[in-house]
Amino acid sequence: MDISNPLYKRFSMEMYIGKLDYLEAALFYPERNIREKISLYAVFGGIPMILSAIDATLSIEENIRNLVMAGDGLARLYIEDVLRDETAAQSATYAAVIRIGNGSRTFGEIESMIDSKTARDGLAKALKNLISSGVLIKRQPINEQGNRKKTFYEIKINLLRFYLTYLERFSVDTSSKAFFLKYVRPSLNTFISYRFEAMVRDYFSILSERSENSEIVTVGTYWYNDRENKKNGEFDVAIETLDGYEIYEVKFLEAPMPETLVEKEKEKILHLSGLNVKEIGFVSSSGFEKEGDRRISGKDIYAL
């Protein structure tokens, strides 16, 4: 594919083989309930070799401990190889990756966290290389396209996000149950919830691709700036349709979403000034106490 190759641009077909999406990955663990499917994809992602190693007889926590937390776990060895191979050439690459972690960062935020001047100078090139190799994704809110100040970088590989969040900083044995209970379990739901938001964006993208009558123009996030109340931020799931924007609040819950929480979240959104949104919806992993328009359950996103 490189321009120096004699066969450059002379292929009859070019196909990019990426990771499996959340629907395809779920075929490796069909017996799991919806919440477990979301959790497994959030941690292990869509790498077939890793998915085939998940033990159906064990709990999610046991699979995480065996495959990722253990020093010789298959998933851990794989992701450490990926991290080493992708970052071997440049110190800026490694610095960029570990500082993004489980969130999203602007170029300025990443740069401010790097002490080495050499690494800072090579940051732009490092980010570009990581995007081209599929490690990172660069995105802008769908209502702020072209705004460089609203450009965010995220780690694309779920398993790498998990490793950087929980394991990268430790040089001690991380395989014990006590380590898991102290360092992983307390924030695991939060980790999964971030990845669930990305899965919901994938859901809408797949829905758009499969429907000839879809009115979805693009799927992404939505940036709001409430100058009256001095608030700004980002809705993590947004859809641009033919006649405006829809935003969705996503909740990774153990029980159906209470109606009181739906109304509270809706009221909070409606109080924002300058919001150019025509519809507000909700996605709940465990469904809702009360059905309604634009309420999507975890079962719905897997029903595709």
- Domain extent listing, the chain: 199-302
Q: Global pTM?
A: 0.90
- DSSP 8-state secondary structure symbol assigned to residue 27: G
HSE-CB of 197 using CA atoms within 13 angstroms: 23
Dump pLDDT digits (tens) for 139-195: 999 999 988 889 999 999 999 999 999 998 888 899 999 999 999 999 999 999 999
pLDDT band at 109; cut points 50, 70, 90: confident
Nearest to 251, CA basis, from 292, 299, 192: 192
Dump pLDDT digits (tens) for 212-237: 878 999 999 999 988 888 888 889 89
* CA atoms of 64 and 180, how far apart (whole Å): 9
Dump pLDDT digits (tens) for 38-85: 999 999 999 999 999 999 999 999 999 999 999 999 999 999 998 888
**CA distances, 279 to each of 69, 87, 183, 244 (Å):** 42, 43, 39, 9
Question: What pLDDT does 47 receive?
Answer: 94
Fold classification of 199-302 is Trna Endonuclease; Chain: A, domain 1 (3.40.1350)
Average pLDDT, the chain: 91
Angle at 108 between CA 144 and CA 189, to 5 degrees: 75
Question: What pLDDT does 200 receive?
Answer: 97
